Each structure stands twice: as structure tokens, then as C-alpha cells.
Amino acid sequence: MPNNSVKLLGPVAIGVIVVLAVALVALWPRGKASSLSGHAGAQRASYWLFAAVLLLDGLLFFTFIWRWFVPALQLPAAYGYLAALGYLLQIATAVIPDTGGHSRASRMHAWVAFSMAAVMQLMVGGLVLAPHVAAVPRVFAAAVFGAMGVFWWLFACVKSVRRHFLVYQLCYIGGFFVVVLAAAYIR
């Protein structure tokens, strides 16, 4: 039986991430071509804020997924393990700074961040196939899963869209969070 007191951790964690994203872009602007991590890597203060929030807030979100989301929606344990992998990748994304350019740290950060994005897409795909998720969130998850695939294709094949990386990244992350909230709260 899921722990209903943990159910609110999901929206709280998502709200904190939204506030962090707005703060990073507003306080340390680097343009639309830079990722959230790029904005965070602009200065030492922004890096530490980004790392601390991702570590702590990620723990809240993972607790929500593991203790409420997976049991309430009767998802297989593999879904929880996929979420754990996503959280580990988030930790790595938080502690390996995106310093820009082609430094070893930036290449490692990019590899970890794109791996985390792939995990997010797999988690959305898992909700499309989950029999205990309501029909409306499943249809929405299918649409977001498709949009995520289009984003991958665009970044692989249409180099001009990279000028707007931040916009695509925010839509990708936002789509993931909306799907999770829809699956959790629409019955």
C-alpha cells in the first residue's frame, strides 16, 4: 500500500525545480543556446546552488516515485530501478559542472545529462504501457514520448535548433513532469 503522506513530495519537488530553473536563467543569463547546466556553470555560486538543489530535491522526487508513485500505480519494480538510475545520473549531472567548450568535464557532463534525458523518456514510455494508469495520462504520455523522440531527432539532424537548446530542454523536462503529475493525480 502506498504511503499517501509522500504523495505531495512529487509536486513540491517539481515546484522547487521550476523555481531553480527560473532563478538560474534570471540571475545568471547565458542565452537560449545554453542549457540549464550551462547557466549554472557560469559562476561558482550558481554551480553550488544548482548542485545542492538537484541533490536534495532529486531525493524528494525519487522518494515520491519509489514510495508512492510505483506502488500506487502498481508499476513494476523495474520502473523504480529506472527512476533510481535517473536519480544517480542527476547526481552526476549536478556534481560534474558544465564549464562550456570542449573540456573533459563538459563532455562528461553532456554524456551524463543526455543519458538522464534518455531515462526520462523511458520512464514516460513505461507510463504509456502501464495498465493501472488512467487513459488520459496514458494518451498524454504517448504524445510526450513522441515529442521527446522528435527532440532527439532534431538535435541529431537539424543543427540550427541548437540555438534554442534551453527552450527545448525546458519543454522536454516540463513534459516529463506534467506526465508524472497527470499519472499521479488523474484517475
**What pTM was estimated for this model as a whole?**
0.93
The answer to whether residue 1 scores a pLDDT higher than 70 is no
**If DSSP states are collapsed to H, E and C, what string results for the chain?**
CCCHHHCCHHHHHHHHHHHHHHHHHHHCCCCCCCCHHHHHCCCHHHHHHHHHHHHHHHHHHHHHHHHHHHHHCCCCHHHHHHHHHHHHHHHHHHHCCCCCCCCHHHHHHHHHHHHHHHHHHHHHHHHHHCCCCCHHHHHHHHHHHHHHHHHHHHHHHCHHHHHHHHHHHHHHHHHHHHHHHHHHHCC
Residue 6 has pLDDT above 80, yes or no: yes
Q: What does the pLDDT look like over 105-162, one tens digit per residue?
A: 889 999 999 999 999 999 999 999 999 999 999 999 999 999 999 999 999 999 999 9
